[in-house]
Amino acid sequence: MLQFKSSNFANTCILKLIYELFTTKEFCFFVPKIDTLRALEIKSTGYSAFFCSNFYELTNDYFSNIKNRYSNFVVLLDENTSKHCLSPLLIEIDFLKNALFIEIESGEQNKNINTCIKIWEQLSHIKADRNTLLINLGGGVICDLGGFVASTYKRGIDFVNFPTTLLAQVDASIGGKVGVDLLSQKNMVGLFSNPKAVFVYPAFTTTLSKRQLSSGFAEVIKHALIADDSLWKLIKKYTLSANTVSPFIEKSIRIKNQVVKQDFEEKNLRKVLNFGHTIGHAIESLSLQKDKNPLLHGEAIRIGMLCESYLSHKIAGLSKKQFNEIIQYLIADLPANKIKLADFATLLDFMRNDKKNQETTINFSLLTEIGKCKINCTSSSELIYESLEFYRKLRG
Amino acid sequence: MLQFKSSNFANTCILKLIYELFTTKEFCFFVPKIDTLRALEIKSTGYSAFFCSNFYELTNDYFSNIKNRYSNFVVLLDENTSKHCLSPLLIEIDFLKNALFIEIESGEQNKNINTCIKIWEQLSHIKADRNTLLINLGGGVICDLGGFVASTYKRGIDFVNFPTTLLAQVDASIGGKVGVDLLSQKNMVGLFSNPKAVFVYPAFTTTLSKRQLSSGFAEVIKHALIADDSLWKLIKKYTLSANTVSPFIEKSIRIKNQVVKQDFEEKNLRKVLNFGHTIGHAIESLSLQKDKNPLLHGEAIRIGMLCESYLSHKIAGLSKKQFNEIIQYLIADLPANKIKLADFATLLDFMRNDKKNQETTINFSLLTEIGKCKINCTSSSELIYESLEFYRKLRG
């Protein structure tokens, strides 16, 4: 019997060709079923993330069970996931070839309410009822925006996530935060709404550029810094590659899931996940507003972690030694973008309008030591400027 | 001590003048506190509806308690509630004079995502944080749209409803359905989200036109027909007037609350509230799309109830006698609009895209007798056409 190795999707054209061959009327009965290791199930509140070493096993469980529960299947994707990730999905989940496919343009700049309107309208045009399942096949934008569209279409339809970027696998697909940006402010419109399931398939990361891979790894680094010093030790010795990143993804999901399960609506503990994000989100927002080729989320978070490590050292008790250790590691892979002194005020303004704040104080989650994070820290504007200046000088 | 009688708001100019006089720096310490009968509390899931015979008592309880819990107070209103309902609110809840007021244009045609965008942007401009309270002061549009904006701004801020129309008092302000229209389809984008409290003040209805009053009363009629034949008997003998409608509002809220408490997300029982709404919503959508002066919600629901009483008689066991009784009552106050034969197909198309449906069947909640309602009824297209034709001929 034919067997497809799915450890590398770079050659999706061949897969597509094989798919087309096997799904023509004459050959469809040949579609192979391969018995593989079962998926690793990471249980969250009301749903599970399935960590799948092999794509094919998915149908064995989840999709064969839910096939008859829904009246419509709609796949949300972008031009990249359409090209690189759709074929393997269609080969395995045969009945999805009759699904509706809604393709949006990739990129954070399209994560806005206008894109939502287009999708809501398309769902309405096909008369998608409340028993429709939306399948988000993509990175953070698709998972966040698709989750929001699903949670608000006809007061909520079910959705599942197939995160295809490293960033989405370790961050956006888990935790139930869905939403879109508004006025260059990250995730200003959204809500908490869990998917029915998440399918994390590390092999998708082989389709990513080095830049995207590195961006996603920023969240793995964050998870280590806030909660797991042994993971941090592994990271320091590790050279990032899509082929070997799998254990880091699993560990990362487990850390995030542990935090989210205890505080879904971010009243307290969950705020630890915001380390690097107060300054990072401001830098990302500014870049989205003014750069032709804006920073990726993880790139901005790397800068944010660098600045907030500075704050951690100054006001949260992070030792000089550990601070230097973090800086030394982060500096080796920083994005090319520079921050100008003239931008500091704008960045502070973005921080002031961050979701995490209460009134005019800016809220930080800072490291007390590697592996431990303290929430609800506040800093003077002067110190925030100082941390930005620290990065600016470091960057040269 | 001065005492304001608030049983009639028609003369809001005088109230406004008095308000301005008493809130100038020199006179603000004179703002009177009046001890009145306590509000009637109708408990729902996680919040209460306060049925207030007198406006002034509100501060005694709720608002004095929450005053320090929020960082910002934002009042959402339209040009009508700004003119007729704001002054009494400001007189009583003194600290609200420092609130932000966001005024939108009244009318169902403005209950759309573009209006939401404007409000989200205004909230963002004033740097409203997650501890902001949105106060919806208006009819169904303000309560539905304001609730949706609040539930999705920065992943959800608190909101309270001050329903000012009869329709909103007996329907939209209770039950946690929030949302907006899309592509002429009613409430296509939204979610289930409860307010923190609802303040139902019947005296607001004295500011309504006869047409608006009659529109709102349609939902009172519906509540009687689906759940309370004794209320129906009272309704038949009653001549609608803003000054005497108060007991009907209270009774109506209690019926709806009883239903909603048992089935918040409309999996089963709550569907009884949809009697008259499958055909009614289609008629309302069509009217919004093509009429210069579109039907009000309750006007469309009256027609919907008439047609669906016909279906109830034909397929759900409603007796000829009770069917005639309902028709005789409803026919006395029907809107002027006529439905053309040529519109029947469009109406059926609207019904097919209704949120309540599963796949292509159209879902009805029909009367088995007055005071009892059966959910999940289906009808042939022919019978639906017949019911529309029944109305068309009745209307002449």
- Give the predicted TM-score (pTM) of the model: 0.85
Interchain proximity A155–B120, CB inside 8 Å: no
Q: Which residues pair with B197 in a beta bridge?
A: B48, B160
Is the residue at B7 inside a domain? Answer: no
**Domain end: A206, A231, A260, which one?**
A206
Query: Tens-of-pLDDT digits for all 396 residues of chain A?
Result: 223 233 333 333 333 333 333 333 333 222 223 333 456 788 887 888 888 776 666 655 688 888 889 999 999 999 999 999 998 888 878 888 889 999 999 998 899 999 999 999 999 999 899 999 999 999 999 999 999 999 999 999 999 999 999 999 998 778 899 999 998 788 999 999 999 999 998 889 998 999 999 999 999 999 999 999 999 999 999 999 999 999 999 999 999 999 998 988 888 899 999 999 999 999 999 998 889 889 999 999 999 999 999 999 999 999 999 999 999 999 998 887 788 888 999 999 999 877 666 666 899 999 999 999 999 999 999 999 999 999 999 887
Interatomic CA distance for residues B143 and B314, integer angstroms: 36
Interface ipTM > 0.90: no
Q: Is B328 on the interface with A (CB under 8 A)?
A: no
- Would you tell me which residues 331-360 of chain B have a C-beta closer than 8 angstroms to some C-beta of chain A? 352-353, 355, 357-360
Is the residue at B90 inside a domain? Answer: yes
| B112: nearest CA partner in chain A | A117
Interchain proximity B120–A182, CB inside 8 Å: yes
Is the residue at A5 inside a domain? Answer: no
| A152: nearest CA partner in chain B | B190
Nearest 10 degrees: CA dihedral of A259, A263, A269, A274? 70
- Asked if residue A37 and residue A151 are part of one domain, the reply reads yes
- Asked if residue B156 and residue B272 are part of one domain, the reply reads no
- Asked if residue A234 and residue A188 are part of one domain, the reply reads no
How far A314 CA lies from chain B's nearest CA (Å)?
27
Q: Considering only CB atoms, which chain B residues are within 8 Å of A113?
A: 113, 116-117
Query: In Å, how far from its chain's centre is CA B17?
Result: 30
- Asked if residue A81 and residue A61 are part of one domain, the reply reads yes
Interatomic CA distance for residues A256 and A274, integer angstroms: 11
- Asked if residue B377 and residue B242 are part of one domain, the reply reads yes
Question: Cα angle at A321 between A318 and A327, to 5 degrees?
Answer: 85
Q: Is A121 on the interface with B (CB under 8 A)?
A: yes
What's B225's domain CATH number?
Answer: 1.20.1090.10
Q: Considering only CB atoms, which chain B residues are within 8 Å of A127?
A: 352-353, 360
B59 pLDDT higher than 70: no
B14 pLDDT higher than 80: no
Interatomic CA distance for residues A120 and B288, integer angstroms: 19
Where is pLDDT greater, at B336 or A292? Answer: A292
Q: Give the phi and the psi of residue A109 in degrees, each rounded to 5.
A: -65, -15
Q: What is the pLDDT of residue A14?
A: 36
Interchain proximity A191–B357, CB inside 8 Å: no
Is the residue at B100 inside a domain? Answer: yes
Is the residue at A129 inside a domain? Answer: yes
User: Each residue of B82-106: pLDDT tens digit?
Assistant: 999 998 888 878 888 889 999 999 9
Interchain proximity B120–A352, CB inside 8 Å: no
Interchain proximity B187–A121, CB inside 8 Å: no
- Asked if residue A232 and residue A269 are part of one domain, the reply reads yes
**Domain around A129:** 12-206
- Asked if residue B199 and residue B111 are part of one domain, the reply reads yes
- Asked if residue A187 and residue A147 are part of one domain, the reply reads yes
Within 8 A by CB and 6+ apart from B13, the residues are none
Interchain proximity A188–B154, CB inside 8 Å: yes
Interchain proximity A189–B130, CB inside 8 Å: no
Within 8 A by CB and 6+ apart from B190, the residues are A152, A154, A155, B144, B148, B177, B178, B179, B180
Number of independent structural domains in chain B: 2
- Would you tell me which residues 144-173 of chain A have a C-beta closer than 8 angstroms to some C-beta of chain B? 151-156
**Domain end: B187, B206, B225, which one?**
B206
Q: Considering only CB atoms, which chain B residues are within 8 Å of A271?
A: none
Is the residue at A7 inside a domain? Answer: no
- Would you tell me which residues 95-114 of chain B have a C-beta closer than 8 angstroms to some C-beta of chain A? 113
Q: Considering only CB atoms, which chain A residues are within 8 Å of B355?
A: 129-130, 154-155
- Asked if residue B218 and residue B76 are part of one domain, the reply reads no
Q: Is A184 on the interface with B (CB under 8 A)?
A: no
Cα atoms in the 13 Å half-sphere on the side-chain side of A112: 15
What's B75's domain CATH number?
Answer: 3.40.50.1970
**Residue B317, both tokens:** 């066991």
Interchain proximity A355–B130, CB inside 8 Å: yes
User: What does the DSSP 8-state code read for residue A156?
Assistant: -
What are the angstrom distances between the C-alpha of B396 and each of A96, B76, B293, B392? 50, 41, 20, 6
Q: Tokens 């067997």 label which residue?
A: A3
Q: What is the pLDDT of residue B183?
A: 86
Interchain proximity A152–B113, CB inside 8 Å: no
Is the residue at A3 inside a domain? Answer: no
CB pairs under 8 A between A and B: 95
User: What does the DSSP 8-state code read for residue B296?
Assistant: P
**Domain end: A157, A180, A206, which one?**
A206
- Asked if residue B215 and residue B165 are part of one domain, the reply reads no
Q: What is the pLDDT of residue A60?
A: 59
Contact of A217 with A206, CB cutoff 8 Å: no
Q: What is the pLDDT of residue A373?
A: 97
Interchain proximity B155–A129, CB inside 8 Å: no
Question: Cα angle at B172 between B168 and B176, to 5 degrees?
Answer: 145
What is the H or E stretch that residue B81 is in?
A: helix B79-84
Interchain proximity A129–B189, CB inside 8 Å: no
Interatomic CA distance for residues B222 and B226, integer angstroms: 6
**Residue A266, both tokens:** 């971010």
- Asked if residue B222 and residue B197 are part of one domain, the reply reads no
Contact of A205 with A213, CB cutoff 8 Å: yes
**Residue B301, both tokens:** 């629901």
Interchain proximity A130–B358, CB inside 8 Å: yes
- Asked if residue B354 and residue B285 are part of one domain, the reply reads yes
Is the residue at A126 inside a domain? Answer: yes
